[in-house]
Structure 1
Amino acid sequence: MSTSLVPETCGTPRLRTRKWCTSADGNEAESAWVAAAEWIRPKVGHFRPVSLRPADETAFDAGVSHRAPVTMEGVQGVSLFELACALNMFGQRAESQVVAGRVLGEIVHDSLASLAQFRMIANSGVTGLPRTCYPYSEQGISALCALTDIVDSESLPGAVEDIRRLGAWLEARSTEAFRDAHLKNRIWVTSETAEELVVRLCTASTDDLRAEIMGSVVDVDFESTCRDVTQWDDVAHILFFEMSGFDPLVAERDVLREYEKCWGPVGDREELLRTVLMRSTREACRRLWYADKLPRTYLRRYAMESTDTFLDLAAWAAGRLDDVDHLARLLAYLRQAFEHQPHTVPYRRYPHIPALLP
């Protein structure tokens, strides 16, 4: 992705971003959503996609891709994931935890509301975008098999069979457009650092904080919207992943009860657990592969994250299901193996603060 400063017709310079997508389907999906952004924004309050910008006539780097890039509104600032990390650090002091948790809760609440509005629009057919099922089995097997140099070879075939069946089960229940709603895909447009933004937001009133979120946060990255996933895949991205403020591994914290207070009853907890197991297993395997094969790239990409979070989360979900014993044993093996390599894989350095939903 490249960003440039381009004069608009009024003479005021505006940022433009050129994005080369990883596939033709992804390119079509990205284009469809940014093209619809100007229509979408006035109609919904929480989902705020970046909008399309006309491409200029400059030549693009021919080595980047054989496809033309999507040219869109350029945004610079702090991702909500970076902001969540900074809030967690700020909230380690007892006197700051409540105010940091309040800001984090507002961010999570707005992100869930953004997801709900995205789904409403995706299901309305406004973008005219065809969707196919996300290949859970294929992606899960690929993630496990990438660790053949790391895991016990005798335990891998059984785990692969578990993940194949798990993926097929999820594919049969995939009905929602995939937003890829991780907090990394929402940007707080600002010139401040994450730490400066945290200090300011923690002193803001609730009304001012909500107004700033509505005016400053934008949604990016729509390549995945050509896929269908389970109803819980994107929710898990927001609620159950590191620094979001909801940690199901903490015994006294009933995450689902907190979710249900705002969003209604969870009708199918098995689907939620299976989705979390698949998603967190893939996230853990991806990071472990990078740590083993490309350690410098790993530290550059995942320096703010803790791989043990995903292993623990996968084990938590697997322990509540009856038919993934081989996968559960493989996860236990990985947890034990990498406990002895703290120099290679970052672990949680401090507890996560709880997010306080409004």
Structure 2
Amino acid sequence: MGRQSYFKALIICLMALLGSSQAQLQLGFYAKSCPNAEKIIFNYVADHIPNAPSLAAALLRLHFHDCFVNGCDGSVLVNSTQNNQAEKDSIPNVTLRGFGFIDTIKSLIEAECPGVVSCADILALTARDSIQTIGGPYWNVPTGRRDGLISRAADPLVSLPAPFHNLTVQLTLFGNNGLDVNDLVVLAGAHTIGVAHCSTISTRLYNFTGKGDTDPSLDSEYATNLKTLKCKNINDVTTLVELDPGSHDTFDLDYYKQVVKRRGLFQSDAALLTSSTTRSIITTQLQSTEGFFAQFAKSMEKMGRIKVKVGTEGEIRKQCARVNS
């Protein structure tokens, strides 16, 4: 290689490195390209979530399921096609809600500035604004995410924490995404809002070890109430159960209080009591709502950066439910 060619190649490499270092998420990423984007999202959320507060939990869950599978790239929003079964049709995702809500916001943003704001950013901002609207914590959402081109139904099966996972599996899946034990316990606090289907706890209630028994880690009185009043048989797949009974629309500390009483709905909730480290973190969260909110905000911003696509990676989808053709 001649001297001129060598220096040309060196300059190209340096420019590539510089570009990659600059292509990061940042607050106000759309300040010039679509200055009203975040306001449009916030206004729509503020207008609609008070009339359907349960949707806040659904939108937060949608964001979580997106980020844990191939990063926060909006891939969970993509529809299946004749040639590909997408993430949203994977078993862990079939109860996800909020797709239409995101699609509507996307259409409003596209009318303002076509082809500029990613679906991944819209989802991240909508989740934050929805939680804030119901009185939950606010957290920074740096933007600049790009939308992914791949959405496969097989991926959530190996990437998403499940209601039946023990602590070791949960820590592994969180660790795979750069999140630690504190993030795990703090983000589990999101179970202070929302509901679950009886099918997610039927085995825990009716056939825990395959002998028609109930999980002994679940408070016996609570288990009896669930079987008597809610999930009346092992085949119930439609009835909904509050994750945080009596407080499922309020973002507060009651979830941790339930866990300490052995009334966490999922096995994954009960697993937080199996380690002195996680028990200690729960005790810390219970000290003050303000402290929990601050920790939750920190972990949410951290989660929102998981394997993001930036710069020239991926694309900016025209419609969130389909990749650009």
**Normalised by the size of structure 2, how large is the TM-score?**
0.26
- The answer to which structure has the higher strand fraction is 1
**Normalised by the size of structure 1, how large is the TM-score?**
0.25
Higher relative contact order (CA 8 A, sep 6+): 2
